[in-house]
Structure 1
Amino acid sequence: MAHPVRNPAQRSGGRFPVNALGTAGAVGLALLLSGCSYVSDELWPSLAGEDPAAPPTVSQPIPASAAESNPQPTLSPPLMGSTNFVVPGVTPGQATGTYVGQKVQQMRGELGQLQQAVTQRNQQLQGIRTTATQNSQRYHGLVAAVSTRLQMGTTPGNPILLSQWNAAQVDLDKMAADVAQLSNLGNQVASDSAMSTYLLQAIKSTYSLSGAIDEDHRQLAVLEDETAKTVVLIDRLLGELSQDVARQSNYIGSERTNLTALSAAIKQGELLGPALGTRAAYYAGNQQYAAAAAAPVATDGRTPLVVIRFDRADVPYQQALYNAVSQALARKPNAMFDVVAVAAGGSQAQTASNQNQARRNADRVLRSLADMGLPASRVNVTAGSNAQLAANEVQVFVR
């Protein structure tokens, strides 16, 4: 049932519109989706721009890295900070009866209030971390259950999986609420940080006041040390909060994209894989893998990454499209994609009808890519025609 892979210009006798295909290089993998016809693995040499019918060239095999060997990279939730921030305390002092002594007592009270506020912030932080961990565990348990069921195979739109997906969405929203609480707590700690810095400067300025005795300066020195330690503690607390908020925010954004892809998989009744945008970020972050895998990408021709032939009402192209785009992103993490609606020939009326239908098919493929998590900014949609085609096609190019 396999069909030979040919260049689009060859199928149309070289009359395919150049502006519909562009001139940038493309990955030389083509999948012909008509019924169950796919390209065999024997055509992989076209990745190097070679003629698939030509004798294979001698190449030196490179062992796959650990990341390359994993077809479904898993992005684990980022770890939150675990520090328990304990204030150093305030050493009590005896009144000296001087004006400077009164200032020392006043500032000692202000430091005590500040440390009490920091203790409350720390308690809030530990509580949010506990809640966030519980929400994350529930979320990942639900996603794992849905993914396992899809991997085993199930009916399209399974209501049990839909219910689990909705519960996962609720838990993800709770995780987002946890991040919002961390952000608000960070704002409060920032105010504490400004207060601690002001208090430390005030203590240092008190040394220059006249009318002090040696005991006043001794107590000032103790108070200065404890305030400086409090400043350092608050700065560490603020830094850890900022890191937690940034990591969790980025992670939740990625998981929202993955949930969208999981929703599309539930509709299909089969597991496609992680969101394409997440996979692209994964491969881009793994520089060793990206550099090794990007080498085979061809840049000297326009060969379709995927050709979807809409010769019947329901063409099951989603899984093959996902696999092809995923492989292209593995080789070129910053790849862009062109979706071309190619209308078949016929009479003038048939050609007009085919053009409308081809555009609808391209929109359908575009929605599928969005459901798979590919950002819309990476996709460009154009249209063309080929009088020699018997059925409308949607061709996907990578650049």
Structure 2
Amino acid sequence: MANPVHNVAFGRRMLLASTASLALLLSGCSYVSDELWPSLTGEDPAGGPAPVMTQQIPPSAAEANPNPVLGQSGPAPAQSAPLQPTLGTTNFVVPGVTPGQATGTFVGQKVQQMRGELAQLQQQVTQRNQQLQAVRASATQNSQRYHGLVAAVSTRLQMGTTPGNPILVSQWTQAQTDLDRMAADVGNMSNLANQVAADSAMSTYLLQSIKSTYSISGAIDEDHRQLAVLEDETAKTVVLIDRLLGELSQDVARQTNYIGAERTNLTTLSAAIKQGELLGPGLGNRANFYAGAQQFAAIDQSAAPVSTAGRTPLVVIRFDRADVPYQQALYNAVSQAIARKPNAVFDVVAVAAGGTQAQTASNQNQARRNADRVIRSLADMGLPASRVNVSAGSNTQAATNEVHVFVR
């Protein structure tokens, strides 16, 4: 059996030897690092220059696409156009008319007559349904083309382009044509709704006639059995026509408001194409107003003055050079004001710089022309004319002609 004292001594000698070996290794770390590990400076460890390794990576399909499409992972578009309202999807199928045998009675003759009227009414409803499905398909195709063109124009404007780019002008014209086709689809829906309303009145009258026939004397049991079947089928037809008329009325209302909003957005998009940069959706839409084409009145000297005492202007545009890029700043300011106060009204004041009597008169004319430009810009941005008041004034302290926009 080994002596414990000898084992302890032997362990101490081994520990000292391991410590000494570790010290020698640590002292040589610098040498090992310099000789065995590769250099990160780009120099060849052998002493010569490091070879340059290059590899050509071909572009991906997305990188090679000349017309990239911004997806969800890209930047959010600056203009988010309202989506097309969802059209009804119901396919209206009439319940049909059950044939019956002639009974030879007067009531039986009335039943046959009303059965023929119901069959004719259901045939008309079937034609209305076919027309409705065709109009829906046309509206969907026109909407898809329209939104594709608007998205292409908005994406190009978001990335920046030249003012009045003819490619964007052509796409805008095509979008306007598609929007006109969508308006024509709404007109067809309105005409169809009027026809269905006439069918609804006819179906209600027929149902009342069937119910009143029960009280006619001289009928047999078969007459009343056929009357009950005819009454059920007529009632189902009445419900079907009412549903058809309800969906048509909702589609016409939604599409009419939607097209009115899109016309305002197209006008704003036209102004953005002129500037070569995206402004945003129409200001009228932001305030939940669907304003049609309205003409702004030009400022004249007889216009009623707008009181601006003690008020801070929302925007001050200094026309100190020929082409002042004020549109985007004006749009942002008015847009934020409408977001805070949807029923806001704006006062546009033409401020002329001072000087001699002749200079003042010239400045007043130029200031009014500048204010006309600002008003046209607001119209292009979709702001209704009823929410803009105009006036003119002068400021002897102003170094150049200005246009002040106030909000109230």
TM-score surpassing 0.5? yes
CA contact 2:353–2:363 (8 Å) conserved in 1:
yes
- Cα deviation digits, residues 11-45 of structure 1 (max 9, x gap): xxxxxxxxxxxxxxxxxxxxxxxxxxxxxxxxxxx
Q: Is 1:366 aligned with 2:378?
A: no
Q: Is 1:122 aligned with 2:151?
A: no
Instruction: Indicate which of 149, 163, 168 corresponds to 1:142.
Output: 149
Instruction: Indicate which of 374, 378, 383 corresponds to 2:387.
Output: 378
* Larger mean Cα displacement after TM superposition, 388-397 or 88-97: 88-97
Q: Offset of 1:89 from its aligned partner?
A: 1.0
Aligned residue for 1:261?
268
Write the letter of the residue equivalent to 1:339. Answer: V
Aligned residue for 1:27?
none
CA contact 2:78–2:158 (8 Å) conserved in 1:
no
Write the letter of the residue equivalent to 1:390. Answer: A
Q: What does 1:28-177 align with in structure 2 at a 5 Å threshold?
A: 72-177=79-184
5+ long unaligned stretches in structure 1: 1-68, 283-299
Instruction: Indicate which of 329, 337, 345 corresponds to 1:328.
Output: 337
Q: Offset of 1:76 from its aligned partner?
A: 1.3
5+ long unaligned stretches in structure 2: 1-75, 290-308
Distance 1:115 1:72 in 2: 46
Distance 2:156 2:168 in 1: 8
Distance 2:78 2:144 in 1: 24
Distance 1:96 1:228 in 2: 23
State the SS of the aligned residue for 1:326: helix
CA contact 2:78–2:278 (8 Å) conserved in 1:
no
Q: Offset of 1:106 from its aligned partner?
A: 0.8
Q: Offset of 1:71 from its aligned partner?
A: 7.1
Instruction: Indicate which of 194, 202, 214 corresponds to 2:209.
Output: 202
Distance 1:253 1:155 in 2: 28
State the SS of the aligned residue for 1:343: strand
Distance 2:86 2:120 in 1: 31
CA contact 1:341–1:383 (8 Å) conserved in 2:
yes
Q: Offset of 1:301 from its aligned partner?
A: 5.4
Aligned residue for 1:191?
198
Aligned residue for 1:356?
365
Aligned residue for 2:243?
236
CA contact 1:73–1:279 (8 Å) conserved in 2:
no
Aligned residue for 2:296?
none
Query: What percent identity do the matched residue pairs reach?
Result: 85
Distance 1:339 1:201 in 2: 63
CA contact 2:157–2:277 (8 Å) conserved in 1:
yes
Aligned residue for 1:308?
317
State the SS of the aligned residue for 2:390: strand
CA contact 2:77–2:158 (8 Å) conserved in 1:
no
Q: Greater RCO between the two (CA within 8 Å, min separation 6)?
A: 1
Aligned residue for 1:46?
none
Distance 1:166 1:309 in 2: 33
CA contact 2:77–2:155 (8 Å) conserved in 1:
no
Q: Offset of 1:175 from its aligned partner?
A: 0.3
Distance 1:70 1:143 in 2: 12
Distance 1:262 1:163 in 2: 13
Q: Offset of 1:208 from its aligned partner?
A: 1.1
State the SS of the aligned residue for 2:94: coil
State the SS of the aligned residue for 2:370: helix
- Cα deviation digits, residues 46-92 of structure 1 (max 9, x gap): xxxxxxxxxxxxxxxxxxxxxxx997554111111111111111111
1:72 to 1:167, Cα distance in 2 relative to 1, 3 A: closer
CA contact 1:96–1:215 (8 Å) conserved in 2:
yes
- Cα deviation digits, residues 86-128 of structure 1 (max 9, x gap): 1111111111111100110110111011011101111110111
CA contact 1:100–1:209 (8 Å) conserved in 2:
yes
Aligned residue for 2:355?
346
The alignment covers a number of residue pairs equal to 315
Q: Which has the larger radius of gyration?
A: 2
Q: Offset of 1:220 from its aligned partner?
A: 0.5
Distance 2:287 2:216 in 1: 62
Q: Offset of 1:303 from its aligned partner?
A: 1.0
Aligned residue for 1:56?
none
- Cα deviation digits, residues 115-170 of structure 1 (max 9, x gap): 11101111110111011000000000000000000010001110000100010011
Taking structure 2 as the reference length, the TM-score comes to: 0.75
